[in-house]
Amino acid sequence: MDLSKSSHNHGLSTARIALIVAASVTAAGARDVRSDLNVSVTVRAIAKIDVQSAPADLAISDADLQRGFIDVVQPTNLTVRSNSPSGFALEVLTVAPLLSAMRVVGLDSELMLGAEGGTIVQRWRKPQIVDLSLKFRFTLAPGLRAGDYPWPVRFAVRPLE
């Protein structure tokens, strides 16, 4: 078999022509093919809470014990972020047995919650960021003594679906 330069180039030329023809047929066929692709995305509703400032502790005096309650002077400042179009539910949870009830001021209305805390629902019509400044009146549990106690409230948030 003679693989001279001439026969070798002739083979390459034939291969190139075959490749060009195959690519043209494929491209021509691709123009005639049509496909629809449906894509859907579900975005889960989320809510996050950032405590901007809150008292570190609760100083209960003898006068507070005699009155039976304490008005906390320093507000608790929170930022709630949610992509839920419906709003959020703010969980106000007590973590120490210091309270028999609490009043929360700073939302749409004044709210009364029991010793264990509760859920505050805030509705809206679009996702947003909300800054809250909450003030508390704690009704003190019987049997407490005057002194400094850890801050008795924690917060959690969840989106409304």
E strand spans, the chain:
47-53, 57-60, 69-71, 76-82, 87-94, 99-105, 111-114, 117-123, 128-140, 147-150, 153-159
Per-residue confidence band for 22, with pLDDT thresholds at 50, 70 and 90? low
Per-residue confidence band for 40, with pLDDT thresholds at 50, 70 and 90? confident
In a domain? residue 29: no
Phi first, then psi: give them for residue 150, nearest 5 degrees.
-65, 150
Model pLDDT for residues 137-151, shown as the tens digit of each residue: 999 999 999 999 999
In a domain? residue 39: no
For residue 49 the two structure tokens come to 């809470």
Bigger pLDDT: 23 vs 131: 131
Phi first, then psi: give them for residue 93, nearest 5 degrees.
-115, 135
Q: Region 6-23: what's the mean pLDDT?
A: 60
Model pLDDT for residues 101-110, shown as the tens digit of each residue: 999 998 877 8
CB distance 82 to 45 below 8 Å:
yes
In a domain? residue 7: no
CB distance 101 to 152 below 8 Å:
no
Question: What CATH number has the domain bearing residue 136?
Answer: 2.60.120
In a domain? residue 143: yes
In terms of residue numbers, what domain contains 152? 47-159
In a domain? residue 103: yes
In a domain? residue 31: no
Per-residue confidence band for 9, with pLDDT thresholds at 50, 70 and 90? low
Pairing state of beta strands 76-82 and 111-114? unpaired
In a domain? residue 89: yes
Count of domains in the chain? Answer: 1
In a domain? residue 18: no
